[in-house]
Structure 1
Amino acid sequence: MKVSVGITTLHLSQKSALLLLLATGLLGFGGYDYVQQSQAVDNAVAVQATITDSSVDRMDGGRGIDYEPEIQYTYKYQGETYTSEQVFPSTGVRTYSDRSRAESVVESYEPGTTARAYVSPADPDDAFLIRERTPFPLRAITIGGFLSVIGVLAGLGPKNPGQQELRPANEMQSAQHETWVDSHGETLHRLSKQGLGVCFVGFWLSMVALVFGLLNTPGEFGGPPQEIQAELLGPIGLPMLAGFSFWVGMILSLCLYGGWSFAEYQQLRRRLPDPKPPSPFRHPSRLITILGTEDNDLSEYGRRVRRTGWALMIAAGMTAVLVHLLYIAS
């Protein structure tokens, strides 16, 4: 599919078109929610509300356990009585991965007490308690912008990169200076694959041990959810420490594989016939297109580029997840 954008034409595959559609949806919803929250915060008037109920709701989802502060209150505006459960001026529900953070929101709103609520004159039946924007719109805009950049780069790239055939190896002169990675390539390859396999299995075994540790913790599953104080070498702390170590091990193994694979890519690139195409690692549009192409549709050179790129991208993504979790824990 061809899409004209100014003086440029994007050649979009089905995957790229779906990616841009998803990015547009995230950008649109994030922008709409941001504008709505901004208007609510700027235009709202304060009223007195009576808290009727407050609690922390535990939500078990596919990505883990989240906690939602639930507060119900009544208020009057221009002689009419309203009931609301909205805490923040957002169309979405704000949850927390840490129960203590959700409890810190609820503890200021005990049932039977009065508190300040905020009402939009244009929509008086939709009040909220905390006059601040939630981070969800900016996150949606950030993810949508990232996906749109990937989709555009894929559309700008050539149609069939990574399909160049190689000259026979016996026609090539050996490199004048053999690098350390070249001379120890087989060892690095073997260690990276073995390390990745061991750390992958170890990580999931540690997660199973963590679940058993939580099941055997009194009060966590048999009654109201409680915040767990885990000892470092206890039935919960030890699996978490092991899972952290194995996660870091997977990142290091992927980086080791990426380094070896990049050295292999450089050797294959020497066998490309002249004139050589631009390096995908210096032209993101080419790299994105190759990453989205199946192995069967690529030459040996293209498959090496694809595997190198995916290894480094997955390592970068896992590192970002680790940094985010450490930030939340701090």
Structure 2
Amino acid sequence: MALNLSIGSDGPDSPRIALLMIVVGVVVAGYGGYDYTQQSDAVENAVEVGATVVETGIEESSSRRGGTEYRPAVEFEYRYDGANYTGTDVYPASTQSNFDTEDAARSVLDGYGEGERVTAYVDPSAPSEGFLKAQESNAPMKVAGLGVLFALFGVVSVLRS
């Protein structure tokens, strides 16, 4: 019994494209899961450090849905275990959250004015990766979900043949 792989065409590259979709989807989903685990560990192990906010702002980008997305941007300096560091993460995940409105993104930065002394958090096992809010973001799970959907689309393409 031979499988006829198809993604909208029966060309010779269709099986490769479906396999590539599955592999990319699994990798992206794995990265999202890994990032979620890393942020959970960072929050659990976080220690407080004093920090100074250097700069804040809002970054705009085009969304996949055709609109504009907004992301809070921050730069802060802190000292941990005798060394100086600069941080740029609001949350401990390497995948940062985007927001549909500028006001929503700005609200994340409430209390973090330029020049202000604030509390930041550091995972002692990764002191150069400081963050401002010791709470988990759902951004890594969105990445993982996107990867799963992409992989499932590849699997469905294989099964539809």
Name the TM tier (shorter chain).
Answer: 0.7 to 0.9
Deviation track 1:24-53 (CA, whole Å, cap 9, x = no partner) reads: 122221122112111111111111111222
1:60 shift after superposition: 4.4
Question: In structure 2, how many angstroms separate the alpha carbons of the residues matched to 1:61 and 1:146?
Answer: 18
More contact order relative to length (CA 8 Å, sep ≥ 6):
2
**CA 148–52 in structure 1, closer or farther in 2 if over 3 Å, else same:** closer
Deviation track 1:200-226 (CA, whole Å, cap 9, x = no partner) reads: xxxxxxxxxxxxxxxxxxxxxxxxxxx
Report the counterpart of residue 21 of structure 2 in structure 1. 19
For residue 74 of structure 2, give the secondary structure of its aligned residue in structure 1.
strand
Report the counterpart of residue 99 of structure 1 in structure 2. 102
For residue 93 of structure 1, give the secondary structure of its aligned residue in structure 2.
coil
1:83 shift after superposition: 1.6
Q: Does 1:52 align with 2:42?
A: no
Question: In structure 1, how many angstroms separate the alpha carbons of the residues matched to 2:67 and 2:141?
Answer: 22
Report the counterpart of residue 35 of structure 1 in structure 2. 37
The 5-angstrom pairing of residues 34-183 of structure 1 reads 34-60=36-62, 63-155=66-158, 157=159
The TM-score with structure 2 as length reference comes to: 0.79
**CA 28–112 in structure 1, closer or farther in 2 if over 3 Å, else same:** same
Deviation track 1:216-262 (CA, whole Å, cap 9, x = no partner) reads: xxxxxxxxxxxxxxxxxxxxxxxxxxxxxxxxxxxxxxxxxxxxxxx
For residue 117 of structure 1, give the secondary structure of its aligned residue in structure 2.
strand
> Which AA in structure 1 matches 2:81?
Q
> Which AA in structure 2 matches 1:41?
V
Q: Is the 8 A contact 2:120 2:133 kept in 1?
A: yes
Structure 1: state its 5+ residue gaps: 3-9, 158-288, 291-330
1:113 shift after superposition: 1.8
Question: In structure 1, how many angstroms separate the alpha carbons of the residues matched to 2:151 and 2:68?
Answer: 30
Deviation track 1:89-143 (CA, whole Å, cap 9, x = no partner) reads: 1213322121111111122111222211110111111100011222222122223
For residue 74 of structure 1, give the secondary structure of its aligned residue in structure 2.
strand
The TM-score with structure 1 as length reference comes to: 0.41
Question: In structure 2, how many angstroms separate the alpha carbons of the residues matched to 1:80 and 1:146?
Answer: 43
**CA 138–61 in structure 1, closer or farther in 2 if over 3 Å, else same:** closer
Q: Is the 8 A contact 2:48 2:122 kept in 1?
A: yes
Question: In structure 2, how many angstroms separate the alpha carbons of the residues matched to 1:92 and 1:124?
Answer: 18
For residue 50 of structure 1, give the secondary structure of its aligned residue in structure 2.
strand
**Greater fraction of residues in helix:** 1
Q: Is the 8 A contact 1:82 1:125 kept in 2?
A: yes
**CA 20–116 in structure 1, closer or farther in 2 if over 3 Å, else same:** same
For residue 133 of structure 1, give the secondary structure of its aligned residue in structure 2.
coil
Structure number with bigger Rg? 1
Q: Is the 8 A contact 1:43 1:120 kept in 2?
A: yes
> Which AA in structure 1 matches 2:61?
M
Question: In structure 2, how many angstroms separate the alpha carbons of the residues matched to 1:123 and 1:82?
Answer: 11
Q: Is the 8 A contact 2:95 2:140 kept in 1?
A: no
1:82 shift after superposition: 1.6
How many residues align? The count is 150
Q: Is the 8 A contact 1:56 1:102 kept in 2?
A: yes
